[in-house]
Amino acid sequence: MKPEPEDEPTQKLETKPRRLYQAWKGNNIFLCGGWLIFGPDAASLLLTTFLIISPTIIFCYQMKSKLYQSNTGQQHMHRAAVLIVIITTIMDMVFLFMTSARDPGIVPRNTRAPPEADDLLLGSNTPSMDWSGGRTPRMRFRRTKDVIVNGFTVKVKFCETCLRYRPPRSSHCSICNNCVHKFDHHCPWVGQCIGLRNYRYFFLFVATSTFLCIFVFVFAWLSVYNQMVDNGDSMWLALRKEAYSFALIIYTSIVVWFVGGLTVFHLYLIGTNQTTYENFRYHYDKNDNPYRKTLAENFAEVFFTKIPPPMNNFRSRVGEGALEAGFYTPYIGLDVTTPREKIDLDRENKEVLIGGMQIPTVLQNIDYGSFEDSSEDKNINQGEKKVHFPSAWAQGNEGGGTSAAAATACNIETSEDDLNEIESPNTTTTQASAEANPEPLGQIDKMEGTLERKS
């Protein structure tokens, strides 16, 4: 039977590539088809909005109630105060939205290891050693590399999550799971990272909040003062009559310490061209700052320069191959090795010394029971009681003559620790070879007898 024609459009829709924001492995929340980018804790915006809107509504209600109780001059002042507070609150909410719903400067991820061959390092095992043991080679990358910024040497780190070296002044946010360019901090009040592309709006949001707190605080005290002057009440009685003003005084006096302190601190950071992360991590206020310019240039860089476009086009289409590969964190060594694998690596890298010589890891994993010595080698081994490992090692080079010479040079001076190391459960391949061929066990027994006679 022929398929129904209605199935063809459905198949086309299913094979249509998805957008990048749908495949993004960060913890961001995307809305409006990827146009709006929030952090994972974007729900905190509701609390922040409530803390801004609530005192504004109370203040406007109080000023409106005083319009009919004051003279003409005070009425104009109250209307102006209400207008200023409303405009400031709207600006504050706009800056809050621009901070939280904007790409802060997310650095693109890589789907595979970086192509720089110079930055590739291998662990203590070479690929041939790993392959001989039936393991996939474990590659490691330099954790840092040096770049020159304004004549200063700056170290940039390799991000094992994003699979790339972070640009200067970038850091990986553990909350959003992204590397952010010119990372300042992750602000829980706006639910977003603060970086290169939203730092300007973050500072304007904090500064506007500070101005709003101070303005409401001053007018709340003016209302209390007018109550004292008009009715001749004491301050305590005036505060009781001006309950809304009293509540606003307490609220704004608490909040202003936080937003005001942030405003002053970030004014200092802007003037010295630092980020919060750099100030606490690198202490640029005490050390040389490679990014510092003149005071005017530092402020112009934040407020009067064009904000760069985002480095990721989250609305772009990605192919199915990219989706299958995904954005993953491979085993890059060091920090991503499981405890079981670390124990195995320690066992594999453990040095086996026989006769003062170190046996390579690749030779420790060989089944020596499968080797058959020639008659000449057997006579040499029986006459001089040599260890089987060096003989087999030398035998693989140039035949029996070389094997005999190498065995003669490696006379037994093995300690009890060496014997325990050979017989330990860690070298499981040696036990397996001994069970397959009893000849090595006989040699080890002879070695133990020799040690007992020497002792």
**Distance between CA 294 and CA 272 in Å, rounded?**
8
**Residue-wise over 146-156: b if at least 16 C-beta within 10 A, else e?**
eeeeeeeebeb
Which residues contact residue 3 at a Cβ distance below 8 angstroms, ignoring those fewer than 6 apart? none
**Distance between CA 433 and CA 430 in Å, rounded?**
5
User: Which residue has 């390579």 as its token pair?
Assistant: 360
Give yes or no for a contact between 100 and 45, defined as CB atoms under 8 angstroms apart. yes
Q: What is the dihedral of CA 359, 361, 365, 371, to 10 degrees?
A: -40
Q: 410 an active-site residue?
A: no
User: Which residue has 């406007």 as its token pair?
Assistant: 60
The number of angstroms, rounded, from the C-alpha of 195 to the middle of its chain's C-alpha atoms is: 15
**Distance between CA 97 and CA 354 in Å, rounded?**
70
**Distance between CA 278 and CA 293 in Å, rounded?**
16
Catalytic residue among 173, 176, 179, 187, which?
A: 187
Element (H, E) at 325: helix 320-325
**Distance between CA 438 and CA 427 in Å, rounded?**
17
**Distance between CA 3 and CA 45 in Å, rounded?**
51
- Residues assigned a catalytic role: 187
